[in-house]
Each structure stands twice: as C-alpha cells, then as structure tokens.
C-alpha cells in the first residue's frame, strides 16, 4: 500500500470516529473518550489567604487525567450529562461540577474527582460536624458567678463578679441583658472586680482582656456606647420584650477587669444561654462569617477534627477532603464528589431533626447575606438554597456554590467549584448554569420557606438558674 493510500485510510478512520461521537451527542447520550496519554492534574497552588502553607502537613494533590474532547484540540475534562444542551456549555477557569437528582442520578458531571479550593464551602463541613456532635438545640452558656454577698438594701454586691463562657455570638446586647438580670437580683453596684475566664469572647474579639473591657463598659449605663444602646433596643424589639423591660439596666464596678480562672469558692448566680445552635449556624452560613465558623470548629478540636468527622460519616478519603481551616481560609482541598457526599449526609442529619437545608443555609433572593442578590427574580426567588465561597486572590481567584435547587420536576443537589479566574465571571456562570438546568426540568420552583429575620433568630436567648434550668419571665 503506497503512502497516499495509507494516509487516506487514516483520515477515513478519524472521520468515522468523529461522526460516531457527534451522532451520539445529537441523541443526548454522554460521550466517553478513553484517554490514551493522560496528563496528571497540576498540583494545587499552596497560596493561602489565611497564612502560609504548613510543610509538615501539605495539601494533597489528586492525579486525575485530562482528556481531549472530541473535535477539539484543547485539553478538557470528559463531561457526563443527561441533557444535550449541557454538553457544550463553556465552563470558565479550572472547574469541577457535579449535579445530581435526589436519587443520585447524574445531571451533569465535570472534573468531579479533581481537588479544588472550596473556599467558604468549608463552612458546610463545619456546620455538619457541629450539628452531628452537639445537635441543633444546643445553647452556649455564659455563666455569671460571685464570691461575695448581696446587700439588698444598698443594692451592692460585696465581692467579685466572674463571667465564664465561650459563646461566639455573645455581643453588646447580651452584656446589657446580663446587667438587666443582675438588676433583677438586686445588684446595682459591684464592690470588687470584674473577672472573665480566658475563653471568654465578646463582639467577635478573641482577646479575653479586651472582651472583658467591652463587657465592663456595656454594663454601666454611664459608660455604655451608642452602639451598645442601639443593640440593646434592637434586641428588645426582636425578642418582643420592649413593652416589658422599662428600665435602663446598669451595674457599676468599682474595681478593674482581670482574666483568671474561677476560684473554688465562686457560686453560680445564673447563666445566659445563646440562641440554639441551628440559629447560630444559619447566621454563620448566611453571612459566611469566618470568625464564627472558626470558633465552632474549635469546639470540635479544629479543622482536622471537622475533616475527620466528614471523612468518617460521608465515607470520603482524606485525599478528597483536606482542611486546614474551619472557615475556608487557608489551604483546603475538596473534590466535588466529596462535597456531594457531604451534602447527602448533612441532608440526612437535618431530616433526623425535622429540618431542611433552608433551616441552616441562606435561601437565595430571600435571606440577608451572600445570596440576597442572587436568583432573586420573580421566577427564581426561593428556588435555590446553598453556600457560597469566595477567595479573590488565593489559587488565582476562587468562587464556589453548593446546595440544593428546586425545579418543577423535583429537587437537585449541586456542587460548582470554579478556580483560577475572575470571581464575578464565575458567579455569573454559576447563576446561568443553575438557571439552565432548572429550565431543562420545567423551570425554577420556590421552596416551602417562611423567612424569619436573622436578628429575630439570634434574639432567642434565655436566662437560666442553677438546678431549675427554667426560663426566667420578665
């Protein structure tokens, strides 16, 4: 056979393969191409918005092959989809996508076994681990103690006032609320010091000394800031106590502010209990608050403990779910496939407590926060509940979105990880892809959801007393 004949045979063979591939795509069947010379995925960049990489425990790098899409010379992943219109969607950046129906049937899958930076999608893992460990109704106690005696005639506590607790949501209004309860006990003045334990936080400040100083000024009406007065008034409105509490709470402290352990002779006066964990998680995920997420992770032992809980319960390998932080800052690597497994175990955990994703994640176009201005048109509002993730500089720019979407033909779970590109473009792509998928299933449909303002959720605090644990009435 001469060279011309050989070349002609080769070109005919290539043309036949391309024809087969294009015919399959027309009839809506996914096209599978076996890689002949797989190219290993590039190692994840170790740049971090939250600190330098740790050489002792480096982030893993998955080795998943890239394949060449039929008819293209570009190296892209092998895409699987049940809808022809999704087969040729241009996906920006270095991205991984996995969308499934409730039964696990794939709607679209692209690079689902690559490890990406999930950014604040890590907070989904932290939320799951905390719910799994403490339950949705757990409340953080902030305990108020004394080693002295109360003189009811003069309204004076002769002795020191001690405050202990690690409530990450303890804020100005809660400091005033403690003051109000001290007034109810007959205390107007403390002849002694205000002492806080070393784990005490207030107004998102992890320095116990500074947090104690903030509490000291919040307690005394003569020193109380405008912000504290405003927070207290908002709390009264949101807790529906504005018609009951008619006096201005105030307690003055003659001594200073110190950080030390509780003495053996301290006795508990009462406890201020935070809003239930489910409400704290809802606010944390709606606003994607890094401080709160890190403090919640600390309750379990940090990011490593959060990852272990997910790995064991979602049955994912450490190489597919690696966390350095509980908030999404720093070096974190998760595959879309592992995130999908997490969504499913989280969904089951919520169902056990008669809850849904909407009870802890922002509902797009309705809840305040990161999804407030997305999917907010008349036909899409309330049809998406999920968690965003954004890192402007790390890994060349990261934007992620994962959660649940509602269509007229049922619900879908989705994970979209976009990396190495413009964040605004990534968000636009995510919005378009979700809407396109919803369009293939009869359009977007709103979820059954009644909005409760986040401030109202957080105002659901209470005061309890030793041995009774009964809520005090105003």
CA–CA separation, 81 and 87 (whole Å): 6
CA–CA separation, 176 and 111 (whole Å): 52
Nearest to 234 by CA among 142, 181, 172, 167: 172
Residue 344 dihedral angles phi and psi, to the nearest 5°:
-70, -40
The answer to whether residues 235 and 468 touch, using CB atoms and an 8 Å cutoff, is: no
* Angle separating helix axes 303-314 and 122-134, nearest 10 degrees: 80
Number of neighbours of residue 192 by Cβ within 10 angstroms: 20
CA–CA separation, 305 and 297 (whole Å): 8
| Structural domains of the chain, ranges and CATH numbers in brackets | 80-136+279-443 (3.40.710.10), 141-274 (3.50.80.20)
DSSP string, 320-364: GEE-S-SSS-SS-EE-HHHHHHHHHHHHHHHHHTT--GGGTSPBT
Q: Structure tokens of 152?
A: 């009811």
Q: Structure tokens of 69?
A: 């899409």
Which CA distances in Å does 78 have to 33, 93, 458?
7, 15, 46
From first to last of the 474 residues of the chain, give the pLDDT tens digit: 554 444 444 444 444 333 333 333 332 334 333 233 333 333 332 223 333 333 334 555 443 333 223 333 344 457 899 899 999 899 999 999 999 999 999 999 999 999 999 999 999 999 999 999 999 999 999 999 999 999 999 999 999 999 999 999 999 999 999 999 999 999 999 999 999 999 999 999 989 999 999 999 999 999 999 999 999 999 999 999 988 888 999 999 999 999 999 999 999 999 999 999 999 999 999 999 999 999 999 999 999 999 999 999 999 999 999 999 999 998 899 999 999 999 999 999 999 999 999 999 999 999 999 999 999 999 999 999 999 999 999 999 999 999 999 999 999 999 999 999 999 999 999 999 999 999 999 999 999 999 999 999 999 999 999 976 444 444
């Amino acid at each position: 056979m001469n060279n011309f004949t050989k070349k002609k045979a080769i070109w005919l063979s290539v043309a036949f393969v391309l024809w087969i591939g294009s015919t399959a795509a027309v009839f809506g069947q996914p096209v599978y191409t076996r890689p002949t010379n797989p190219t290993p995925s590039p190692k994840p960049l170790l740049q971090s918005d939250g600190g330098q990489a740790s050489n002792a425990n480096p982030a893993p790098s998955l080795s998943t092959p890239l394949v060449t899409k039929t008819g293209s010379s570009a190296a892209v992943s092998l895409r699987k989809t049940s809808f022809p219109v999704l087969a040729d969607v241009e996906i920006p950046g270095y991205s991984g996508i996995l969308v499934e129906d409730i039964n696990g049937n794939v709607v679209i899958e692209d690079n689902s076994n690559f490890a990406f930076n999930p950014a604040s999608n890590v907070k989904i893992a932290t939320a799951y681990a905390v719910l799994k460990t403490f339950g949705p109704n757990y409340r953080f106690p902030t305990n108020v103690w004394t080693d002295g005696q109360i003189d009811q005639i003069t309204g004076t506590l002769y002795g020191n006032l001690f405050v202990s607790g690690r409530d990450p949501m303890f804020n100005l209004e809660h400091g005033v609320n403690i003051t109000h309860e001290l007034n109810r006990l007959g205390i107007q003045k403390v002849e002694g010091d205000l002492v806080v334990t070393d784990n005490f936080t207030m107004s998102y400040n992890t320095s116990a000394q500074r947090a104690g100083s903030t509490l000291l000024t919040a307690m005394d009406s003569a020193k109380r800031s405008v912000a504290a007065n405003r927070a207290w008034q908002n709390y009264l409105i949101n807790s529906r106590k504005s018609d009951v509490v008619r006096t201005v709470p105030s307690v003055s402290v003659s001594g200073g502010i110190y950080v030390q352990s509780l003495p053996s002779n301290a006795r508990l006066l009462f406890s201020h209990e935070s809003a239930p964990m489910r409400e704290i998680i809802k606010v944390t995920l709606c606003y994607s608050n890094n401080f709160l997420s890190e403090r919640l992770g600390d309750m379990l032992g940090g990011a490593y403990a959060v990852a272990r809980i997910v790995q064991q319960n979602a049955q994912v390998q450490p190489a597919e779910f690696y966390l350095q932080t509980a908030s999404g800052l720093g070096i974190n690597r998760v595959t879309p496939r592992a995130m999908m497994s997490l969504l499913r175990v989280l969904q089951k955990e919520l169902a056990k407590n008669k809850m849904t994703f909407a009870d802890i994640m922002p509902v797009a176009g309705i809840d305040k926060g990161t999804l407030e201005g997305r999917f907010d048109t008349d036909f899409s509002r309330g049809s998406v509940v999920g968690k965003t993730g954004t890192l402007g500089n790390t890994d060349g720019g990261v934007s992620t979105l994962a959660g649940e979407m509602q269509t007229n033909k049922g619900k879908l779970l989705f994970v979209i990880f976009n990396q190495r590109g413009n964040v605004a473009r990534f968000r636009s792509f995510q919005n378009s892809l979700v809407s396109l998928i919803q369009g293939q299933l009869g359009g977007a449909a709103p979820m059954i959801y009644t909005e409760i303002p986040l401030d109202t959720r957080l105002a659901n605090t209470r005061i309890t007393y030793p041995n009774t644990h009964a809520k005090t009435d105003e």
